[in-house]
Amino acid sequence: MEGEEEMRGRGGKASARARSQSPPGGSGSAARVEVEGMGASAVPDDMLLEVFKRLSPMADIVRAAAAGVGLGLDHGALSVSPACGALLVDCRCRRLLLRELGAGSARELKLLVCDPLRKTSVSLPYRFVAGHKVACCALLPGAGAAFRVAVVLFGAAAHFDILVYSSAASAWEAATGALKKSMNPHQGPTVVIGDVVYKLQSEEDKYVMAVDATKMTLSAVPLPNTGMLLYAGNHWIGKTHDGRLCFFALREQLVLAKWVLESPGKWVEQPAVDLRALMNPATVGDLSRIKLSAKISDQLRGCKLVSFGGFCEGTGALFFVMADWVVSLDLATWRFERMWRNTDESRPLGDIFPVEMMVWPPVRRGDLGEKE
């Protein structure tokens, strides 16, 4: 899959996406969600409301880090056995996309969409995926409570399958097509713009996978010429406030470079930003005094590693992992905020899944109605 070649699928209705390891037979970010017997439901709604009132707007984002950091989801909200557990593979518009683990998970793709605020979940009809690699699982929001889930499978015989589940139809639509060569899917971030899911492939063949969930097509977007070595953690994708794909790269001196896809095949570089100059002790604490670098080998010289962690499509904020701290950067105000520190060395941080949990300012649950 090279250049901007497009592969169109064929098919129709079928009945009723140095980091953490992927699940068997899959790719997707490996953020484990522990199903606990007591979660948010143990706190009365009125008390939660008082807590939310005292949070800053950015702090209403739940950070779900990779490699085993548990979310306090009520067991009653998930149709998953506590003995199996699930992997968090995507999130968008206050919903989580989870992949169920357990016996048969290498042969069957079992997905569920969870709304942690309303404590509800929807289990999707499972798909048989033996002999395929899961290249992408992404959640596409719809009007009101509607949603779609797009899945891309790579087969051993250099072919691909696109599966799109519609909550409105309660059914999967399937299409298939041929690849130029066999592809190995890799973990990477996803961004949804309209009906298209973009997924960064950042290993041997670096490109952005583009999946049109309406036309059922698969194509590749070449990366911009960054003039630097790209490796896991030093580049990311996001989108602009007006809905254009953007590409970020973190240079060794903590300089943030950005490109915007103005038209097919045309990346336009934006002014670079020195992140060091933005690190105010009032918002990042002692991180402003620590030796930081985006170069992995600089750790041998006493530097702490900085890498991309996530991008919040709702707020346009970038998330970084700096010396075991999760740090957010508001791209509108260029303000850093130190958010959470991982103190468990046995569970290193991987990708961050920012979830907008509620509208701001907070309102009571009864006032939300069906609004998303």
pLDDT the model gives residue 74: 53
Query: Is the Cβ–Cβ distance between 214 and 225 less than 8 Å?
Result: no
12 pLDDT exceeds 60?
A: no
**pLDDT tens digits for range 250-288:** 998 899 999 999 999 899 999 999 999 999 999 999 999
Domains of the chain by start residue, with CATH: 6-360 (2.120.10)
Rg of the chain (C-alpha set): 20
pLDDT the model gives residue 344: 79
Residue with the bigger pLDDT between 286 and 17: it is 286
At 284 the three-state DSSP class reads: helix
Residue with the bigger pLDDT between 156 and 172: it is 172
159 pLDDT exceeds 80?
A: yes
Q: Highest mean pLDDT range out of 80-84, 180-184, 340-344?
A: 340-344
pLDDT the model gives residue 259: 98
335 pLDDT exceeds 90?
A: yes
Q: Highest mean pLDDT range out of 95-104, 108-117, 207-216, 334-343?
A: 207-216
pLDDT the model gives residue 239: 96
Largest Cα–Cα distance in the chain?
58
41 pLDDT exceeds 50?
A: no
Question: Which pLDDT band holds residue 215 (cuts at 50, 70, 90)?
Answer: very high
CA 34-39-43 angle, 5° bins: 165
Report the number of secondary-structure helices (H) and strands (E) in the chain.
3, 30
Residue 339: Cβ-neighbour burial (10 angstroms; 0-12, 13-18, 19+): middle
Residue with the bigger pLDDT between 48 and 155: it is 155
53 pLDDT exceeds 80?
A: no
pLDDT the model gives residue 7: 53
Q: What CA–CA distance (Å, rounded) separates 312 from 307? A: 16
Run of H or E including 122: strand 120-123
Residue with the bigger pLDDT between 355 and 27: it is 355
User: Which tokens belong to 110?
Assistant: 């079992």
Residue with the bigger pLDDT between 356 and 17: it is 356
pLDDT the model gives residue 354: 79
Run of H or E including 257: strand 255-263
Residue 311 backbone phi and psi in degrees, to 5: -140, 130
Spatial CA neighbour of 57 closest among 349, 351, 312, 342: 312
Query: Is the Cβ–Cβ distance between 111 and 78 less than 8 Å?
Result: no
Report pTM: 0.78
Query: Is the Cβ–Cβ distance between 334 and 278 less than 8 Å?
Result: yes
User: Which tokens belong to 368?
Assistant: 């939300």
Residue entry with tokens 């999130």? 91
Question: Which pLDDT band holds residue 66 (cuts at 50, 70, 90)?
Answer: very low
Spell out the long-range contacts of 266-273 with Cβ–Cβ below 8 A and sequence spacing 24 or more.
Answer: 267/223, 267/224, 267/225, 269/224, 273/334
Side chain identity at residue 317, one-letter code: A
233 pLDDT exceeds 60?
A: yes
Average pLDDT over residues 161-188: 88
User: Which tokens belong to 247?
Assistant: 């590409």
pLDDT the model gives residue 182: 64
Q: Highest mean pLDDT range out of 29-33, 213-217, 286-290, 314-318?
A: 213-217
pLDDT the model gives residue 210: 95
55 pLDDT exceeds 80?
A: no
Question: Which pLDDT band holds residue 205 (cuts at 50, 70, 90)?
Answer: confident
Question: Which pLDDT band holds residue 37 (cuts at 50, 70, 90)?
Answer: very low
**pLDDT tens digits for range 88-143:** 899 988 889 999 887 777 789 999 998 887 778 899 999 998 888 899 999 999 98
pLDDT the model gives residue 225: 94
